[in-house]
Amino acid sequence: MSLFFALLYIVAALILVVGLARKIIQYARTPAPLKIPTTPAPVTGAGVVMRLFREVVFFESLFKSTKWTWIFGWMFHIGLLLVLLRHLRYFIDPSWIPAWLWLPIELVQPFGVYAGFAMVAGLTGLFLRRIFVDRVRYISSPSDYLWLLLLGFIGFSGLTMKFVARTDVVMVKQFFTGLWTLDWGPLPADLPLIVHLSLVAILMILFPFSKLLHVPGVFFSPTRNQVDNPREKRHVAPWARALDEQEQN
Amino acid sequence: MAKAKFDVPELKEEVDVPAIQEGVMAHLAPFVAAKDHQTDLNFPPELVDDWHQKTLEKMDDLRKRYRSFQVFLDSCVKCGSCTDKCHYFLGTADPKNMPVARQDLLRKVYRRYFTFAGKYFPKLVGAKDLTRETLDEWYSYYHQCSQCRRCSVFCPYGIDTAEISMAAREILDSVGYGQKYCNEIIAKVFKIGNNLGLPGPALADTLEGLEDDVFDETGIEVKYPMDQKGAEILLITPSADFFAEPHVDGLIGYGKVFHEAGVSWTLSSYASEAANFGMFIGSYENMRRVSRRIRKAALDLGVKRIVFGECGHAWRVAYSFLNTLAGPFDFLDPDYPVPQHILEFTWDQIQKGNLKLDKSANDDMTLTFHDSCNVARATRMGDRPGGQLEIPRNVIKAVCNNYVDMDKDTIGEKTFCCGGGGGLLTDDLMEIRVKGALPRMTALKNVMEEEGVTHMAAICAICKSQFTKVLPYYGMDMDQIVSVHQLVSNAIVLTGQKPGDDGEEAAAEEAATGEAAPEVEV
């Protein structure tokens, strides 16, 4: 079984990293021919960094819109972040990275436990909203529900291992830290763990082919990442410059 | 005008988010462009035989040329944040007028042909085959979007439905399925120089008439020059300013401001249009072709500055795109932004104290201000973010005593479109125009009842025309819409203007007694 999961995770990690890299390269290489920031917009690069920071960390635009979606969505995402930080212990040993980098990770560890509940609660809210608000139900595809269920069961199986049927996390840690050198140990044969690891692997594999692309997408969104300075600085895409040159010849 | 064949929404205190009613607006589509309208813009004259392949090819082309299109197609998570933000959804209850659902009409096809999930698991991710009916559905619903960007304010990824609807129209045009209204108008600009097809001599006549009117009213010779070489400023203004009320009163105002500022200025008969419908149809090439007329006019006339009159999407193309499309403007005076908005110019003159203003001339009105969508969410005025919201209000408050804002959720960056923008200002789309005006009409009605507002000022030719037409459907008066520079014009006391020569004071007195201002004849 541990061989199966070892191979699964190597493949899943490769698909996730290569898939995401391909999308990021695609976004970065596609020109944005016109200045289209949603205004009022920052007029400096530093301002744009702040705008993206508020968007990514606080979900500023969603906050302006619908408080319920914001609460559930933010709870889920911030919960997920803390949970992921807590999970770092299973993949890297503190001795591998500088102490100043480990310290903040160390500090959030206690919150990581409760964050699991916030995550599941947020997902539940989002799921109910998708079912009961007619407008959101109308725009939902099966995959939209399935993502919430997938994430929900990941959270639920994880919480089960923490609070109901504890798994031998030391073994799990040995397995995953060993993966880096292709020298993994055995995994505990616990059902919640098997469910948990299988679902996470599915998530990793599907990530680059799904709406989870909103993660890199938000950084490449021209309405959010452009500086509002079209009069001060001429902005021309390569294919548009070709039009100008064509005309001159 | 034939009265409504549809139900005009009832105005309540608030706009309720309606329960969805599928398909209620599916019947509405604008007239299709005639063959020559299409070919004038280098589009196929009619739907091409291989439309299926050509549609997908164009979609592929656009996603490679526009980062916005590619990122927006991928990033939506269907959170629903935008679903209650579009004025057309609020006014019609048709779920395909929810921004996300409007985008999905195109995204479904993108997924089916360009993504792994859509190719192999179409049902799971809501991917759909491209059929002949798909094109009709696009044609209908992408012409029920005014590209106002309100949805983009609330989207956590900044997805702007305007970008998707522009792309959709570009795809439709490229397979020979264009919209009559936009394409006919763009062709008129290429052939005659403006949207309305007013030839140079007619413009000259109009301007001469304006000079006479202003002289009769004030006793001062204010010039409205055209094609005057060597003038300092080239004024580019929407062609509606040349003839329609209340637009023309704004043009009179620009002339008075220039006169008092002591700068020489001119209009151009060649570039006699600020509007650029190339943006509405998402065609970079056509938008560029229209824009370059302005560059040519500026070069031919040898001007030093370019100033734009009151027009919403025109200011977007001017402020955000002109430098890109028709720049660099290194032949103009580097001390001034290129281009400048007339409100930036006027506000600067007011701050310098160059204008003598009699605010009481507007005492017969209590004003509110409609932020035009394109100005509020796609441009700037002045140096600071948000100047496009402050400067118009500053100018209005400098020339009027009575001003109040509408509900804060309906102005500023959250402003509602007038309902007629984005190439929808045509009678064949009257139903969506009237229904889409509901949120603005509601906010206006509220300040009329609670604050005694009598008039609403606007800085967009489309807004002004749309409201003139739509206000009566809601039991209000078409004359309630005014130009901001009409207010400026009322208040300006021209240098040398003798008391008694002007109608302003008389108007103020009449207003005080509750009577309408009489037409002043000398």
- pLDDT (tens digit, 9 = 90+) per residue, B64-93? 999 999 999 999 999 999 999 999 999 999
Asked if residue B19 is part of any domain, the answer here is no
Is residue B508 pLDDT above 60, yes or no? no
- CB under 8 Å, gap of 24 or more: what pairs does A197-200 form? A197/A5, A197/A8, A197/A9, A198/A8, A199/A150, A199/A153, A199/A154, A199/A157, A200/A154
Mean pLDDT of chain B: 94
B327 close contact with A: CB closer than 8 A: yes
Option in A144, A206, A230 nearest B78 (CB): A144
- So what's the pLDDT on residue B498? 79
How many Cβ atoms sit within 10 Å of the Cβ of residue B125?
24
Radius of gyration of chain B (CA): 23
The answer to whether residue B125 neighbours chain A at the CB level (below 8 Å) is: yes
Residues from chain B contacting residue A234 (CB–CB below 8 Å):
323-324, 327-328
For the ranges A165-169, B83-87, B427-431, B507-511, the lowest mean pLDDT is seen at B507-511
CA distances (Å), B490 to each of B159, B208, B392, B396, B502, in order? 42, 20, 16, 11, 10
Express each pLDDT in B164-213 by its tens digit: 999 999 999 999 999 999 999 999 999 999 999 999 999 999 999 999 99
How close, in Å, is residue B369 to chain A by CA atoms? Answer: 18
Does B522 fall in a domain? no
Q: Where are the beta strands (DSSP E) in B309-418?
A: 340-341, 367-369
* Confidence at residue A95, expressed as pLDDT on a 0 to 100 scale: 87
Q: How far apart are CA A12 and CA A19, in angstroms?
A: 10
Q: Report the amino acid identity of residue B381.
A: M
B331-386: pLDDT as tens digits? 999 999 999 999 999 999 999 999 999 999 999 999 999 999 999 999 999 999 99
- pTM value? 0.94
∠ at Cα B279 (B146, B247), nearest 5°? 70
Whether pLDDT at B269 is above 70? yes
Query: Would an 8 Å CB–CB cutoff place B307 in contact with chain A?
Result: no
Asked if B280 is an interface residue toward chain A (Cβ–Cβ < 8 A), one would say no
Residue in B78, B116, B123 nearest the CB of A140: B78
Alpha-carbon torsion angle B94, B99, B100, B103, nearest 10:
100
Kindly determine whether residue B80 and residue A218, on different chains, have CB atoms separated by under 8 Å: no
The amino acid present at B290, given as its one-letter code, is V
Q: How confident is the model at residue B246 (pLDDT cuts 50, 70, 90)?
A: very high
Question: Considering the domain boundaries, does residue B28 fall inside one?
Answer: no
Provide, as residue numbers in chain A, all residues whose Cβ is less than 8 Å from the Cβ of B66.
30-33
Residue of A136, A218, A221 to mutate for B, most B C-beta atoms under 10 A: A221
Nearest Cα of chain B lies from the Cα of A135 at a distance, in angstroms, of 7
∠ CA B234-B237-B243, rounded to 5°: 125
Q: Which residues of A touch B379 (CB under 8 A)?
A: 39
- B301 has pLDDT over 80: yes
**DSSP element (H, E) containing B151:** helix B150-154
d(C-alpha A32, C-alpha B108), whole Å: 23
Q: Is the Cβ of B335 closer than 8 Å to some Cβ of chain A?
A: no
**Structural domain contains residue B18:** no
Same domain, B166 and B213: no
Question: Could you tell me if B34 lies within 8 Å of chain A, comparing CB atoms?
Answer: no
Q: Is residue B6 part of a domain?
A: no
Mean pLDDT of B237-265: 96
B243 in the same domain as B170? no
Whether A82 has a pLDDT exceeding 50, the answer reads yes
Q: Please report which helix (H) or strand (E) contains residue B313, including its range.
A: helix B312-316
Q: Is B83 on the interface with A (CB under 8 A)?
A: yes
Q: Return the closest-CA partner of residue B310 out of B343, B269, B268.
A: B343
What's the average model confidence in pLDDT over A163-177? 93
Q: What are the Cα distances from residue B362, in Å, to A129, B359, B506?
A: 50, 6, 11
Question: What local confidence, expressed as pLDDT, does residue B18 receive?
Answer: 97
Compare CB distances from A221 to B85, B104, B158 and report the shortest one's residue. Answer: B158
Q: Which of B79, B155, B163, B410 is the best mutation test for A, with the most CBs of A within 10 A?
A: B79
User: B369 pairs with which residues across the strands?
Assistant: B457
Q: Is the predicted pLDDT of residue B507 greater than 90, yes or no?
A: no
Which is more confidently placed, B14 or B508?
Answer: B14
pLDDT at B227: 97
Quote the CA–CA distance of B381 and B323 in Å, as a whole number: 15
DSSP string, A2-59: HHHHHHHHHHHHHHHHHHHHHHHHHHHHS---S--PPSS--SSHHHHHHHHHIIIII-
The pLDDT of residue B4: 59
Decide if pLDDT at B506 tops 80: no
Closest CA–CA distance from residue A3 to any residue of chain B (Å):
28
B413 touches chain A (CB under 8 A): yes
Q: Is the Cβ pair B337, A231 closer than 8 Å?
A: yes
In angstroms, the Cα distances linking B46 to B181, B189, B424 are 16, 22, 21
Q: Is the pLDDT of residue B518 over 70?
A: no
For residue A36, the chain B residue with the least C-alpha distance is B378
What integer pLDDT is reported at residue B206 of this predicted model? 95
Domain boundary, last residue among B150, B178, B206 = B178
Q: Where are the beta strands (DSSP E) in B309-354?
A: 340-341
Q: Do A30 and B67 touch (CB under 8 A)?
A: yes
Instruction: Tell me B6's DSSP state.
Output: S
Q: Which residue has the tokens 């199986």?
A: A157
What pLDDT score does B499 carry? 66
User: Do residues B212 and B236 both lie within one domain?
Assistant: yes
pLDDT given for residue B319 in this prediction: 98
The secondary structure of B28-84 as a DSSP string is --PPBPPHHHHHHTTS-SS--TTHHHHHHHHHHHHHHH-HHHHHHHHH-----TTTT
Count structural domains, chain B: 2
Cβ contacts of B152 on chain A, cutoff 8 Å: 38, 223
User: Which of A142, A217, A234 has its CB closest to that of B327?
Assistant: A234
Q: State how far residue B180 is from chain A, nearest Cα, in angstroms.
A: 26
CA–CA distance, B104 with B126 (Å, rounded to integer)? 9
Q: Which of B154, B178, B202 is the last residue of a domain?
A: B178
Same domain membership, residue B91 and residue B197 = no
Any chain A CB within 8 A of the CB of B68? yes
Using CB atoms, pick whichever of A62, A143, A237 lies closest to residue B125: A143
Task: Give the CA count within 13 Å in the CB-facing half-sphere of B475.
Answer: 7
pLDDT digits (tens, 9 = 90+) for B452-472: 999 999 999 999 999 999 999
B121-127 CB contacts, 8 Å cutoff, 24+ apart:
B121/A143, B123/A142, B124/A141, B124/A142, B124/A143, B124/A146, B125/A141, B125/A142, B125/A143, B125/A210, B126/A141, B126/A142, B126/A143
CB-count burial class (<10 Å; 0-12, 13-18, 19+) for A56: middle
Give the closest of B83, B284, B337 to A139, CB-based: B83
The verdict on residue B468 lying in a domain is: yes
B226 shares its domain with B86: no
Q: Which two tokens stand for residue B24?
A: 């209620």
Tell me the C-alpha to C-alpha distance, in Å, between residue B256 and each of B19, B264, B316.
50, 12, 25
Judge whether B114 is closer than 8 Å to chain A, CB to CB.
no
Whole-number mean pLDDT of chain A? 95
Torsion-angle region of B423 (φ positive above 0: left; ψ -120 to 50: alpha; else: beta): left
The answer to whether residues B146 and B425 touch, using CB atoms and an 8 Å cutoff, is: no
Mean pLDDT of A226-234: 97
Give the pLDDT band of residue B521 (cuts 50, 70, 90).
very low
Which of B115, B145, B178 marks a domain boundary?
Answer: B178
Q: What is the mean pLDDT of residues B111-133?
A: 97
Pairing assessment for the beta strands B305-308 and B340-341 based on DSSP bridges: parallel
d(CA B309, CA B275): 10
**Which CATH number fits the domain that encloses residue B120?**
1.10.1060
DSSP-H helix ranges across chain A: 2-29, 45-53, 60-65, 67-91, 99-132, 134-139, 142-163, 169-179, 191-206, 214-220, 222-225, 238-248
Quick check: A221 and B95 CB within 8 A? no
Residues 6+ apart with CB under 8 A from A84: none
> B319 and B281 in one domain?
yes
**pLDDT above 70 as % of chain B:** 95
- Chain B, residues 227-266, CB within 8 A of chain A, namely none
Residue B103 has pLDDT above 90, yes or no: yes
The answer, yes or no, to whether residue B510 has pLDDT greater than 60, is: no
* Residue matched to tokens 């970008």: B163
Find out whether A37 and B158 touch, Cβ atoms under 8 Å.
Answer: no
- For position A249, what pLDDT does the model report? 60
Over residues A2-29, the pLDDT tens digits come to: 899 999 999 999 999 999 999 999 999 9
Please answer yes or no on whether B66 and A30 come within 8 Å at the CB atom. yes
Q: How far is B330 from chain A (nearest CA, A)?
A: 11
Mean pLDDT, residues B419-426 taken together = 97
Looking at the structure, tell me whether residues B167 and B208 fall in a common domain. Answer: no
Q: Are residues B254 and B372 in the same domain?
A: yes
Instruction: Tell me: do B69 and B201 sit in the same domain.
Output: no
Q: Do A222 and B386 touch (CB under 8 A)?
A: no
Chain A partners within 8 Å of B385 (Cβ): 39-43, 47, 228
Instruction: Write down the pLDDT at residue B3.
Output: 55
**Structural domain span for residue B421:** 188-512
User: Could you give the ipTM of this predicted complex?
Assistant: 0.95
**Region B284-300: what's the mean pLDDT?**
97
In DSSP terms, which residues pair with B308 in a beta bridge?
B236, B341
Predicted local confidence at residue B101, as pLDDT: 98
B383 interface with A at CB cutoff 8 Å: yes
In the prediction, which pLDDT does B500 show? Answer: 54
C-alpha span between B11 and B18 (Å, rounded): 14
The alpha carbons of chain A give a radius of gyration, in whole angstroms, of: 22
pLDDT digits (tens, 9 = 90+) for A179-191: 999 998 899 999 9
